[in-house]
Structure 1
Amino acid sequence: MEKKFEELYKQYLSGQISQMDFELLKNKVPLTSDEELWDLMCDDLSTSSESVKMSSESQQRILQNIYANVKEEKRQTRVRRFLRYAAMFVLMLSLVGGSYWWINSLAPSAPVYTYVSVKAGSKRTITLPDGTRVTLNGNSQLCYNVVPQKHREVVLTKGEAFFDVTKDASCPFRVKVNDMQIEVLGTEFNVRYHEDAIETALFSGAVRLTSEALKEDYRLYPGKKSIYKLASHQLKICDNDATTDARWKEGYLAFNSKALAEVLHEIEDWYGVRIQLRNKKLANDLLTGTFYNESLESVLSSLKMQYKFNYHTDNGTIIIE
């Protein structure tokens, strides 16, 4: 396999490819054998820290639609072209951070859902079929339809995500989180879904918040944030916190009057580790602070100095005494 093609593929897979190099990658795909494509894609999918997964039923539906596009080809070339289109399908599906322009022509009769999972300690930016960019924080998962249709809807099943939504006045963009729906036309906002609440911080545009559990709809405007309590189904609107909201995208691990137990949970997601707090007296102590691109050891040492605790590692778990 040409080394340049493999380098372009890996750049695209990591979301670090330029538009010029992306065009070059597309031009090189038809010049690469199906066997080489398949081997490269399988290798990268098996070693990737993030995953795009799809049910076998959905895979079969897409492949059937790919086949429908080439069924009028002459019979002697049909199988060869089907393999080529199938290889292109797997290639573009594996390129999580890329464009899904190619799949518009498939027009399946039913939605084809997939999801992106980002493991703790990682971050990932993907581009949805409509051009909307979504950056996922560690330990997050997003579900969406890979084939553009008349409506745009994604589901944040866990974690935190920043949305930069492509504007389309005729087709609102909706994010479903638990029993809440966030509807926008074109805007930038951050959604954090944790065990007891959903926080939506708006930076531009406007969003509408709805839920069957709420007595009324709510609208957010730039600089405002909503906090929706899952247990009580109560929603309040306040100002964005410039010191913490969406700062994770810039490499900041920031807290403002947050209980230490919650802080440790965020540290777990940030660094991909497990932490056990045995000193329960510290669990509800409120912490305010900011760490910027610091190592796990540096963060733990700072907390140790403040709280005077000791910690050690036991079978991969950090134990705080």
Structure 2
Amino acid sequence: MDKKLYQYFSGELTADERLELIHRIENDGQLKAEFIRLQNLTAVSQLSSRPTDRNEGKSHFKAFTNQIERNIRRKFFISFAKYAAIALILITATVWTTLHLSDIVIDSTMNTLYVPAGQRAQITLQDGTEVWLNAQSTLVYPSHFSKKSRTVEITGEAFFDVAQEKKRPFIVSTQHINMEVLGTQFNVYSYPDAGYIQTALVEGSLRICEKQNGKNAILLAPNEQMTLKESKMSITPISNPDHLLWRKGIYSFDNERLIDIIKKLELYYDVTIKVEDPEIFNVRYTGKFRQRDGIDEILHLIQKIQPFKIERDRDNNIITLTK
């Protein structure tokens, strides 16, 4: 038996400890069942917890025993039924409070998951939805979704495999758009400094709505991607499906300009990359790199295709590329 349960009913826990216990109870079916059982027993056994209630209880008990002594069996059964009904109402109210009020407390608890540079993470939400987070990305999500909707916030890049629930839409919010789904797989690229937002749909359907202009909304089909840049939405086929391999720790670039690759590498590895010769910007590259190789190894691999010099200022976290 969990010691915290006894401390809870004896009033020995602080407010933070009580809230922590409620979170554990919600996620542990066996612990929740034991909590309800103890709460019901406590409610029935402590119907008179205050001194005035105990005195009143003694008075009623004395009258109750007098009825027995007078052998008025009919009144005895009526009184017993009343007490049983009161206990039943109290137990029902206790169970309702445990199942519903605890949900309200947990619903208000928001969690934040941040992934540092050069890392990635995967999390399974309360409804079974799986989320992968790329480097320097933040996911804000509730410990327990409400009964009407499932809403999370993302900054950076994330891939969602949403658990299907027809009655509870899943809503992903970024700094500029909201995406509503019922069950689907899609990728969101929404770094604040990227200058654009891009969503690629793998399967299912996805409704995308601009926050500042609710009328500016589109419905995305599988294998399509939406790009929002300067308040303009455009839909195109997914240009590079291998880009989604970042979930497995692989960065894929397909005929992309070095300037575009550099911008992503800066975000992924939290480093500043300066290019002294603009001609280098327009050179295009195709290749796949492992995330764990790090920024230095990736640049050295690119360097073999189009020679350039690499200077690293580790004190200021700056990399300079020159011809």
**TM over 0.5, yes or no?**
yes
Secondary structure at the aligned position of 1:267 is classed as helix
Are the aligned partners of 2:208 and 2:218 in contact in 1 as well (CA < 8 Å)? yes
Q: Report the TM-score when normalising by structure 2.
A: 0.65
Aligned to 1:78: 11
Could you tell me which residue of structure 1 aligns to residue 95 of structure 2?
A: none
RMSD of aligned alpha carbons:
3.4
Aligned match of 1:206: 205
Cα distance change of structure 1 residues 100 and 307 upon mapping to structure 2, 3 Å threshold: farther
Aligned residue number for residue 164 of structure 1: 161
Structure 2 match to 1:18: none
| 1:271 Cα deviation after fit | 4.2
- Distance apart, 1:189 and its partner CA: 0.6
Q: Is the 8 A contact 2:240 2:254 kept in 1?
A: no
Residues 1-321 of structure 1: matches in 2 within 5 Å?
30=2, 73=9, 77-80=10-13, 85-86=18-19, 88=21, 105-108=102-105, 111-149=108-146, 150-156=148-154, 158-194=155-191, 195-211=194-210, 212-213=212-213, 215-229=215-229, 231=230, 233-292=231-290, 295-296=293-294, 297-314=296-313, 315=315, 316-321=317-322
Give SS of 1:107's match.
helix
For 2:282 and 2:257, the matched residues in 1 are separated by 5
SS at match of 1:295: helix
Q: Which moved more, 1:296-305 or 1:272-281?
A: 272-281
8 Å CA contact 1:100–1:128 kept in 2: the answer is: no
* Post-superposition offset of 1:123: 0.5
Hey, what's the Cα distance between the residues in 2 that align with 1:259 and 1:70? 64
Partners of 1:91 and 1:274 lie apart in 2 by 43
C-alpha deviation, 1:292, in angstroms: 3.9
Q: Which residue of 2 aligns with 1:45?
A: none
Cα distance in 2 between the residues matched to 1:275 and 1:140: 20
Check whether the contact 2:118–2:292 (CA below 8 A) recurs between aligned residues: no
For residues 117 and 254 of structure 1, what CA distance do their matches in structure 2 show?
A: 23
Q: Which entry has the higher C-alpha Rg, 1 or 2?
A: 2
Contact 1:214 1:234 in 2 (8 A): no
The DSSP-based 3-state class of the residue aligned with 1:283 is helix
CA gap of 1:222–1:169, structure 2 versus 1, over 3 A, is: same
TM-score (normalised: structure 1)? 0.65
Structure 1: runs of 5+ lacking an equivalent: 1-26, 35-68, 93-98
Aligned partner of 1:285: which letter? V
Preserved CA contact (<8 Å) 1:243 1:254: no
Q: Is the 8 A contact 1:118 1:138 kept in 2?
A: yes
**C-alpha distance 304-130 of structure 1, shift in aligned 2 (>3 A):** same
Shift of 1:227: 1.2
Measure the CA separation in 2 of the matches of 1:88 and 1:123: 30
How far, CA to CA, are the matches of 1:133 and 1:270 in structure 2? 21
Question: 2:22 and 2:8 mapped to 1: Cα distance?
Answer: 19
CA distance in 2, matches of 1:320, 1:100: 54
